[in-house]
Homo-oligomer: A and B are copies of this chain.
Amino acid sequence: MNEFELIGQLIPGLAANRTVVVGAGDDCAVIDLGSPGEYLLFKTDAIVEGIHFKANTEPERIGHKALGRCLSDVAAMGGKPTNALITLALPATFSPEKVSRIYAGLNALAKQFQVAVVGGETVLNPERILISVSLLGVISQGKEILRSGARVGDAILVSGELGGSRLGRHLDFMPRVQQGQWLAANFAVHAMIDLSDGLAGDIRHILTASGFGAELEAAAIPISPAAKVEPTSALVKKSPLKAALTDGEDFELLFTLESAQVATLQEKWLARFPEVPVSCIGIITRDQGVRLRQNDTVSPLEDYGYSHFS
């Protein structure tokens, strides 16, 4: 059983109440606690030594990544992040200097997005460091962008370039917080998710939630220069396209909107965010599943994203 199956099994039994607008299963929970015209966004995300970072990773980059992942989830709802709590689990032999440097990386990113770090806790985890970040955000009611809103004929777009994140970008990525808020404010984006496990896997979350399929155009998928680097012997050899589809930890935004709006969106995006590419990579189809068009042939996309427990 992988974690998606496990979570799917647990969700139906979760305790609920009237504050829940969107519960488990999207990038963030959406909650109504009575603020006029506004919903809260609520998210946690954890990273673990030896899995998401190495024992010798620069501590500032560990802190950056820990918060950046949660910020990316709030971005994928179109929201504004506001407050974070940090849970730091660490061995008894921890180095205070390392902890300070983790917090320095985390605080620097928080300040960049005007997020307040309002506390947290330290706890003993004897074998390795684990950092869990809990993040609050806000969004205007009705502006929240879910995974479930994609419609047949929608264009599928993605920010940035994909693949090869393990060469370094997974520790330094800039969460697309501004882009997410700008999209929510200016366009009727139907569905959005952030790419954490890889395009091939994450697009399926939009499709499952929306009840449709997709056809992707291989030549349109933006491949990062890092995905084109010849893999060293330590890494699985993948084609650059396969790397872009499956490497994961891109933390880019994947979203859908009416095809007729693509040209306008690309023009305005380019004017607003000249340093971040945006690519139209396919369309939402009534046919289920994901298909890849490559050299005029269309075939089912077999690849999936990263799974922690498979």
Contact = CB atoms under 8 A, between A and B. Distances in A.
Interface in A98-145: 99-100, 103-104, 107, 110-111, 114-128, 130, 132, 134, 136, 138
Interface in A166-204: none
Residue among A89, A125, A127 facing the most chain B CB atoms (10 A cut-off): A125
A117 B29 CA distance: 10
B44 A134 contact: yes
Contacts of A23: 116-119
Contact of A119 (B24, B40, B51): B24
Q: Which residue, A9, A16, A99, has most C-beta atoms of chain B within 10 A?
A: A16
Interface of A: 1, 3, 6-7, 9-10, 13-17, 19-20, 23-25, 29, 31, 33-36, 38, 40, 42-48, 50-51, 82-83, 85-87, 89, 92, 94, 96, 99-100, 103-104, 107, 110-111, 114-128, 130, 132, 134, 136, 138, 308-309
A17 B123 contact: no
A136 B85 CA distance: 11
Nearest to A134: B134
Contacts of A92: 309
> Across chains A and B, which 10 residue pairs bring their CB atoms closest together, nearest first?
A24-B119, A29-B118, A15-B110, A134-B134, A35-B35, A14-B117, A17-B116, A3-B122, A127-B127, A44-B85
